[in-house]
């Protein structure tokens, strides 16, 4: 596709359930980011993938959060035992990420709105 896509667009789940959120980056983009957008909190960095390097997981808020990126393309963000405070919009972004470049624009998907009841 032409842009970053995310699925589902909306997810409603019950407290304690696990959820999986999917991100399809732009073809050829080697970098992929996950962010969480909560009301009044801006965008919170969660995790960053770059090619075959070990991901930067420094933004994951707890061990209930994990992410993987298969084949350097599609990524899945998994939240286990969801809590009400996990309710937010989860945004994915990809970037061409040429290491030799001084700047690499991030292209964002439309997000997944997660509601934990």
45 binds other proteins (CB under 8 A): yes
For other proteins, the closer of residues 35 and 65 by Cβ is: 35
For the beta carbon of residue 61, count every other beta carbon within 10 angstroms: 12
62 binds other proteins (CB under 8 A): no
Count of chain residues binding other proteins (CB under 8 A): 28
For other proteins, the closer of residues 14 and 100 by Cβ is: 100
Q: How far is the CB of 30 from other proteins (least distance, A)?
A: 11
Contacts of 101 (CB under 8 A, 6+ apart): none
Q: Tokens representing 110?
A: 């439309």
Q: By the 8 A CB rule, do 75 and 103 touch?
A: no
Peptide bond into 8 cis (omega under 30): yes
Cα-based torsion angle of the residue sequence 98, 100, 106, 107 in order, rounded to the nearest 10 degrees: -30
19 binds other proteins (CB under 8 A): no
Closest listed residue to residue 46, CA positions, set 61, 26, 63: 61
23 binds other proteins (CB under 8 A): no
93 binds other proteins (CB under 8 A): yes
35 binds other proteins (CB under 8 A): yes
Q: Which residues bind other proteins (CB under 8 A)?
A: 3-4, 31, 35, 40-43, 45, 48, 50, 56, 91, 93, 97-106, 108-111
């Amino acid at each position: 596709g032409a842009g970053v896509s995310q699925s589902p667009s909306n997810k409603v789940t019950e407290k304690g359930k696990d959820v999986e959120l999917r991100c399809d980056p732009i073809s050829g983009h080697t970098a992929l980011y996950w962010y969480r957008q909560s009301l009044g909190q801006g965008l919170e960095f969660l995790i960053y993938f770059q090619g075959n390097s070990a991901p930067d997981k420094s933004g994951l808020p707890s061990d209930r959060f994990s992410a993987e990126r298969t084949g350097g393309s599609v990524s899945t963000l998994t939240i286990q035992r969801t809590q009400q405070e996990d309710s937010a919009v989860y945004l994915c972004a990809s970037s061409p990420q040429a290491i030799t470049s001084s700047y690499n624009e991030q292209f964002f998907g439309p997000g997944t709105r997660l509601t934990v009841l």
